[in-house]
Amino acid sequence: MTTTSATSVNLLKILMEKFHGGHPVYESAEPDLDSMLKHADAALLIGDHAIRASWVNHGYEVVDLSDSWYRFTGMWMTFAVWAVRREAAAEKSADIGEIYGALVNAKRRSYGDMRPVIEHALRSVGGTEAYWKSYFDGLNHDFEAGQREGLSLFFKYARELGYMDKNVAIEEWSLAGPVATPAAPPQ
């Protein structure tokens, strides 16, 4: 498994154990497909490493973790959130608000004109403009009710299987302060 993402590693373990009934031996490795498969039957890559590997016909079966999660749960999978400790949000509300506003503005600008994002991906990773347009069109950067429900279910399963040491309740911060969401994860 890649050493670059705890979320993806735990998602793979959840999918294997909850939905496939598997209990493989996991081994951490630097994200290099050829090197990983010299020592293992399967490999987990994410991000740029997975994208680059997908451009080569290795003859391997490729499984997208978020597609598998959706197929088994019917829910969104959230791989990243911008999180702030409750104490920091209370003590530095104005600073947090400024950062939040900058992130929302960057999202709006990027969705308004994807050219700079695509050009950066072409320079730093490679590929084609058509690939990156399709890739970025398939991403979702929102955190609405469906995303919260999916993340809550992920947390529930991670806790059940021992990958998290405590329950996590999702709270959203707003300019007025934290907004609690239902603590009970979906069944």
Residues 131 and 58 in one domain: no
In the numeric block, the tokens 């999180």 are attached to 83
Residue 94 lies in a domain: yes
Closest to 134 in 3D by CA, of 60, 78, 54: 54
Q: How many domains does the chain have?
A: 2
Residue 146 lies in a domain: yes
Residue 134 lies in a domain: yes
Residues 127 and 64 in one domain: no
Q: Tens of pLDDT along 37-93? A: 998 999 999 999 999 999 999 899 899 999 999 999 999 999 988 888 888 888 998
Q: Which of 73, 104, 125 is the last residue of a domain?
A: 73
Residues 58 and 123 in one domain: no
Residues 52 and 110 in one domain: no
Residues 35 and 69 in one domain: yes
Dist. CA 22–CA 12, nearest whole Å:
11
Say which residues have a Cβ less than 8 Å from residue 157's Cβ, sequence separation at least 6. Answer: 14, 18
Q: Tens of pLDDT along 19-50? A: 999 999 999 999 999 999 998 999 999 999 99
| Boundaries of domain holding 166 | 86-180
Residue 61 lies in a domain: yes
Residues 57 and 26 in one domain: yes
Q: How many residues does the chain have?
A: 187
Residue 185 lies in a domain: no
Residues 41 and 126 in one domain: no
Report whether pLDDT(138) > 80.
Answer: yes
Residue 80 lies in a domain: no
Residue 118 lies in a domain: yes
Dist. CA 99–CA 178, nearest whole Å:
16
Q: Which of 39, 73, 107 is the last residue of a domain?
A: 73
Q: What pTM was computed for the model?
A: 0.84
Say which residues have a Cβ less than 8 Å from residue 27's Cβ, sequence separation at least 6. Answer: 1, 39, 40
Residues 109 and 160 in one domain: yes
What confidence score (pLDDT) does residue 180 get?
45
What confidence score (pLDDT) does residue 176 get?
59
